[in-house]
Amino acid sequence: MDSPINLSPTQTAVKTDAREAAQTLGTLLRQMPEYEAFLKALQAVNSDPVIERLGAQMRFHRDALQWGRDDGQHAAELERLEMELEALPLVKEYRQAEAQVRQLFQAVEEIISQEAGVAFAANARRGGCCG
Amino acid sequence: MELPEEIRNAAQTLGRSLREEDFMRSYLKAVEEFVADLEARKLEEQLYATYNDLLARQQAGESLSREETQSFYELRRRVQSHPLISARENELRLIKPYLAEIADEISARLGVDYTALARS
C-alpha cells in the first residue's frame, strides 16, 4: 500500500535533528524547579475566583474603552482594578515565578541564538502583524 | 543566570542543529555578505542610532522638526532598499515558519508558548 501523501510543505523541510533537539530541550526545561513553580503559580491564578471576577470586570471596562465609550470612568476603574489585581498575594507569587522563568528561558535563548546565528525566539513567534 | 550543564548542552545542540539545517543556508549566507560590507553595516547602525535618539527626545517631551522626521524616513528608505539588507531581511522572512515549527516542539513539551517567555 502506498504511503499517505504529506500535504504539509514544511513538515519535511525541517530535519529530525533539530526537532529532536527541541523536544529534548523542552522536556528538560519542563523539569526545572523554576518552571514547575511557574506552572503551579499559573494554575493557582487561573483557578482563583477573586482573580476570575476581577478579570471579568477588567474585560468589561477594556471593551468599553475599545468601543470608545469612555467618559473617563472606565479608564480610572480599569486602573483601580489592575492595581487591586496586582496587589493580590497569588498574583505577586505568579509575577515572581514568571520573572524567574523568563530569566531562565532568556539564558537558554541566548545560547540557541548564538549557536544558530539567528535570534531564535524573536523570529519564531507566531501571529502578530509584523512577522 | 547560571544554567545547569544539561540544559546548556541541550540549548547548544539545538542551536547547532538549526545552523546545519538546509533552510538556514541562504539566510546565513545573506548575513555573512551583510557583515562583510562596511557601508551596509554603518548605514543600519546609523538608522538604529537615529531612531533611538529621536525616540528618547520625543519621550522627553521634545517636538521633532519636520526636517528631522523627513530625514529619518529617508534614511529608513535607504536602509530598506539596500540590496544586502533587503536580501537578508527577505531570507529571514523565509526561515521564520521553520523556526516557528521548531519552537512549537519546545512549547508542546512545556504547555506554554516558549517564544513569549524567551524574548527579552
Work out the minimum CA distance from B49 to partner chain A, whole angstroms: 20
Q: Nearest-CA residue of chain A relative to B17?
A: A18
Yes or no: say if B114 and B106 are a contact pair by the CB < 8 Å rule: yes
More confident call, A5 vs B48: B48
CB atoms within 10 A of CB B16: 15
Q: Is the dihedral of CA A126, A29, A26, B15 positive or negative?
A: positive
Measured CA to CA, the distance from residue B89 to residue B72 in angstroms comes to 20
Whether B6 shows a pLDDT value over 50: the answer reads: yes
Return all residues near A4 (Cβ < 8 A) that are at least 6 apart.
none
Yes or no: say if B34 and B41 are a contact pair by the CB < 8 Å rule: yes
User: What mean pLDDT is predicted for residues A22-33?
Assistant: 97
Whether A6 shows a pLDDT value over 70: the answer reads: no
Could you tell me which of A42, A54, A49 has the C-alpha nearest to residue A85? A54
**Given an 8 Å threshold on Cβ–Cβ distance, is B7 in contact with A28?**
yes
Q: Is the dihedral of CA A14, A15, A21, A27 positive or negative?
A: positive
Yes or no: say if B27 and B35 are a contact pair by the CB < 8 Å rule: no
Q: What is the pLDDT of residue B114?
A: 96
**Given an 8 Å threshold on Cβ–Cβ distance, is B103 in contact with A23?**
no
Cell numbers at A39, concatenated: 506552572
Q: What percent of chain B has pLDDT over 70?
A: 100
pTM, full prediction: 0.82
Give whole-number Cα distances, B74 to B34, B59, B71, B79, B89, in Å: 20, 22, 5, 9, 19
Measured CA to CA, the distance from residue A79 to residue A81 in angstroms comes to 5
**Given an 8 Å threshold on Cβ–Cβ distance, is A115 in contact with B18?**
yes
Q: What is the pLDDT of residue A130?
A: 44
Confidence of residue A39 (pLDDT cuts 50, 70, 90): very high
Confidence of residue A129 (pLDDT cuts 50, 70, 90): very low
> pLDDT tens, A67-124?
887 678 899 999 999 999 999 999 999 999 999 999 999 999 999 999 999 999 999 9
Could you tell me which of B20, B40, B23 has the C-alpha nearest to residue B96? B23
Whether A131 shows a pLDDT value over 80: the answer reads: no
- ipTM of the complex as predicted: 0.88
B106 close to A (CB below 8 A): yes
**Given an 8 Å threshold on Cβ–Cβ distance, is A126 in contact with B100?**
yes
Yes or no: say if A88 and A50 are a contact pair by the CB < 8 Å rule: yes
Confidence of residue B10 (pLDDT cuts 50, 70, 90): very high
Residue ranges per domain, chain B?
Answer: 23-118
Q: What is the pLDDT of residue B62?
A: 93
Return all residues near B102 (Cβ < 8 A) that are at least 6 apart.
A14, A18, A19, A22, A120, A124, B14, B18
User: What mean pLDDT is predicted for residues B72-96?
Assistant: 96
Whether B51 shows a pLDDT value over 70: the answer reads: yes
Could you tell me which of B105, B40, B52 has the C-alpha nearest to residue B78? B40
Q: For chain A, what is the mean pLDDT?
A: 88
Q: What is the pLDDT of residue B119?
A: 87
Domains of chain A: residue spans and CATH: 31-96 (1.20.1500.10)
Work out the minimum CA distance from A61 to partner chain B, whole angstroms: 26
Work out the minimum CA distance from A108 to partner chain B, whole angstroms: 6
> pLDDT tens, A55-67?
999 999 999 988 8
Whether B31 shows a pLDDT value over 70: the answer reads: yes
Confidence of residue A9 (pLDDT cuts 50, 70, 90): very low
